[in-house]
Structure 1
Amino acid sequence: MTHYDYIFAGGGCAAFSLIHYLTKSSLKSKNILVIDPQGRSYPSKTWCYWAEKPLEIHPPNQLVQWNQLSFGRGKEKTLLKLKNLTYYHIQASDFFENLRLYFDQLPNIQFSESQVETCQTSSSGFEIITEKGEKFTCDYLFDSRLDTQIFQDGKKILKQQFVGWKIKLDQSFFDAESVTWMDIIPSENGNFSFGYILPYDAKHALVEFTCYSEEEIPYSLLEEKLKNYLSDQLDRISYNIYFEEKGRIPMSTQFKMNSPHPRWINLGTRAGWSRPSTGFTFQFIQEYCQQLVSELESSGTPTLKKMPSRHYFYDNILLNIVKKWPKQLDRLFVNLFTSNSPDHVLRFLQAKTGIWEEISILSKVQFYPFLKSLWHYEKH
């Protein structure tokens, strides 16, 4: 039975990010095993984040960025310029392949293309058995597997459900200087829905249809909604699809973030690192992974990584509106960004603001939806 210092159950963004930062630290010689069934079949995903400059982990040859955000509903459009922040885009396959090529040069990092079957504590730390019958032990277990048991038992979870296509147009159409962050799409069933456009140039873009719902929406229906959205937007311009992504992001503050052992450490969405109100995760992963490495270096005992508790309160206020009064969300989001500096709002969504900044931001928006949600407050 082979023993490792660190074993990663799951090889997603959080696992690769943490390993990257470990290799840049005093722990760079630790023996590491990553167990993930996907191997080099990387997921079809795109990630975005905002910062003053590209993050150090950003693939150097894949820099796509914007400095303007657009909000809309029908023919109404609002264009907002970012001052100090830039909106960055990463293709997941580029991220994984760039790091995997780097890891393959390091003899202390190994990969097992298998599924973790069981994890349990043992006299030597933890014992892991894979579906292939492989047995390993380790001192630290980093777990990023996602299952429904991480949520509050018996409670339906609101999900951000989406389908996105990268398309090539027959003629120029897109404004390559600005991201359509939220283009509200009226929904006949009452769910909050919007379009999202990342233009790479005048003819190429990633276009997504997103819907918030507790019930799972068939991907075929999401694709139909996306097709209709493109038909409305493009006005008979033909397009070809050359990439597809889809997913369901849990929007909940009710994660069971505690693990059965101080050295059994949850990562990523399993650890509640997705912002419940927006689904953005990438930048929280980078921040929390660097904190983990620092604590592993100093004390060997990482602490639970999460946003300040007041931000979960803010998220529950918003999720309450999403669930009970979704038709009020479109005005709320536009009002939030247009009444404040967009840089300040993005920092707020990143949980990087102080309490007085947050009071200033929230004091400028329409109070009624928030007061109603506060009066009917519940956790989601």
Structure 2
Amino acid sequence: MKHDYIFAGIGLASLMVLDKMLDAKLLESKKILLLESNNKNSNDRTWCFWDNKLGDFDDLVSKKWEQALFINDKQTIECLSDNANYKMIESIRFYNYVLDKLKKYPEIVWKKENFISFEDKGSEVIITSNVAKYSTAIFFNSVFDVSKIEYNKKYPLLKQHFIGWFVKTTEPIFDANYATFMDFSIPQKGNTRFMYVLPFSETQALVEYTLFSANLLQDNEYEEAINNYLKEKGATSFEIIKKEQGNIPMTVFPFWKNNSKNVLHIGTAGGWTKASTGYTFKNTIKQSGRLVLLLKNKTIDFRNFNKLNRFLFYDTLFVRVLYKNNDLGKKIFSNMFLKVQPKKIFKFLDEESNLKEELEIILACPKIPFIRSLLRFKW
């Protein structure tokens, strides 16, 4: 049987695309196959993003903060404007939300198999799993293989890697209204290192030790840093409720070149993670919207689903600078938040700023490393 659509990997990107397709009534009478071996019945990650106080998916938000902080050795800066919040969505809530909607469509079939490979033959795409072969008109792949980009010299791979502890302290040391985006008051040790703190109450929070760097640490190095940070904040004793660990690629590798006429790579596998921040959720909303508009056309060719714009240029310079001079992160972010209104920085990171605002941010950054990176720049 030939399918209309096959999705490999059922995570944020695939479910967001399916949700947008549902809203656009693009799944009516379509034969759709989902390939994913994981049941998606646990909270395996959280997504956080800054947003207007009233925004998309607010019903799924488990926690939001009215303010967020940037901290370095000298200053603490409040980052969010009056009409913004920082929001958290637990993955299980999003999974359940979309999967419950999909249950109304009996022609959407989920097979718990592992995707292996694909071949676009022009008139059809042949998908191979660990169990069988399938045929489809259009294939969406969100299975990311980092080995294919890890040692690419032209597009260096910076990593946002972290370990986080969900902790409960004996003393009330947190302010539940304030998230901490970046606390650079910790030792940098030649890298870009900061603490990320999401408090749920005065005694409970997620505390993550995060690096933007090319190489990972040993687990005990992250955990020792978290332990020291909590003690410095006044936690004489605490309980670790659970832990999380992540490694998010920060790269401008041209994933779109892997697309073919009938095959589109989505999510991290399609470059939907913002290279300069590692944030994914809001960018996935935007890219899914672009995709749905394309699917409404009678002629589809995913080789043209790329996005060459000035923000890709900015991200390219940033990644190259930080990859080559990894100790500069604290200075780059400190200069930005000290010299530029935070709301302009968030517009810039959301790719919604204007040229005047972008110039202000660029001028706030250290000049020489970016000029050197610019001189070596090639699309």
- TM-score, with structure 1 as normaliser: 0.89
- When residues 369 and 200 of structure 1 are mapped into structure 2, their CA distance, relative to the original with a 3 A threshold, is farther
* Residue 228 (structure 1) aligns with: 228
Q: 1:186 maps to which residue?
A: 187
Q: Secondary structure at the match of 2:248?
A: strand
CA distance in 2, matches of 1:164, 1:115: 29
Measured against aligned partners, the alpha-carbon deviations of 1:85-107 in whole angstroms (never above 9, x if no partner) come to 32211111221122222222321
Aligned residue for 1:361? Answer: 361
Aligned pairs (5 A) from 1:133-212: 133-148=131-146, 150-151=148-149, 154-155=152-153, 157-184=157-184, 185-188=186-189, 190-212=190-212
Alignment-mate amino acid for residue 326 of structure 1: N
User: In structure 2, what is the Cα distance between the partners aligned to 1:152 and 1:282?
Assistant: 23
Structure 1 residue identity aligned to 2:294: E
Matched with 1:105 is 104
Q: CA-to-partner distance for each residue in 1:23-61, whole Å, 9 max, x for gaps?
A: 1113121222110111234462111112224543x2615
Q: Show the counterpart of 1:248.
A: 247
Cα deviation, residue 162, structure 1 = 0.7
What's the counterpart of residue 76 of structure 2? 77
CA distance in 2, matches of 1:4, 1:262: 16
CA–CA distance in 1 between the matches of 2:121 and 2:362?
50
Cα distance change of structure 1 residues 15 and 47 upon mapping to structure 2, 3 Å threshold: same
Q: Does 1:274 align with 2:273?
A: yes
Cα separation, 1, equivalents of 2:259 and 2:361: 39
Alpha carbons of structure 1 residues 170 and 8: separation in structure 2 relative to 1, 3 Å: same
For 1:222 and 1:55, locate their aligned partners in 2 and report how far apart those are by CA, in whole Å. 34
The answer to whether the 8 A contact 1:65-1:87 is kept is yes
- Whether the 8 Å CA contact 2:171–2:235 is kept in 1: the answer is no
Counterparts of residues 39-50 of structure 1 (less than 5 Å): 39-42=39-42, 44-50=44-50
Q: Which residue of 2 aligns with 1:20?
A: 19
Measured against aligned partners, the alpha-carbon deviations of 1:196-218 in whole angstroms (never above 9, x if no partner) come to 01112212211111012212323
By how many angstroms is 1:324 displaced?
3.1
SS at match of 1:257: helix
Unpaired stretches in structure 1, ≥5 consecutive residues: none
SS at match of 2:346: helix
Letter in 2 for 1:78: I
Moved more, 251-260 or 269-278: 251-260
On the 8 A contact 2:43/2:90 being kept in 1, the answer is no
Indicate whether 1:219 and 2:219 are aligned: yes
Q: How many Å apart are 1:352 and its aligned residue?
A: 1.1
Q: Which residue of structure 1 aligns with residue 114 of structure 2?
A: 115
Whole-Å separation in 1 of the counterparts to 2:150 and 2:211? 22
Q: Is the 8 A contact 1:168 1:205 kept in 2?
A: yes
Q: 1:26 to 1:236 in 2, by over 3 A?
A: closer
Secondary structure of the corresponding residue to residue 193 of structure 1: strand
Matched, 1:128 2:127: yes
Q: Structure 1 residues 55 and 32 mapped into 2: Cα distance closer, same or farther (>3 Å)?
A: farther
Runs of 4+ in structure 1 over 6 Å off: none
Does residue 52 of the first structure (1) align with residue 52 of the second (2)?
A: yes
* 1:263 corresponds to: 262
Deviation at 1:118, TM superposition (A): 2.4
Q: Which amino acid is the alignment partner of residue 281 of structure 2? A: F
Q: Which amino acid aligns with 2:290?
A: Q
* Helix, strand or coil at the partner of 2:247: strand
- How many angstroms apart in 2 are the aligned matches of 1:113 and 1:299? 31
Q: Please report the TM-score for the alignment, with normalisation by the length of structure 2.
A: 0.90
Count the aligned residue pairs. 374
The yes-or-no answer on 1:321 pairing with 2:325 is: no
The Cα offsets for residues 226-285 of structure 1, whole Å up to 9 and x where unpaired, read as 22322322x233222223221111111123322352110010111111111110111111
Moved more, 205-214 or 83-92: 83-92
CA shift digits 1:109-148 (9 cap, x unpaired): 22111101221234751121211x2222111000011013
SS in 2 for 1:261: coil
Unaligned runs of 5+ in 2: none
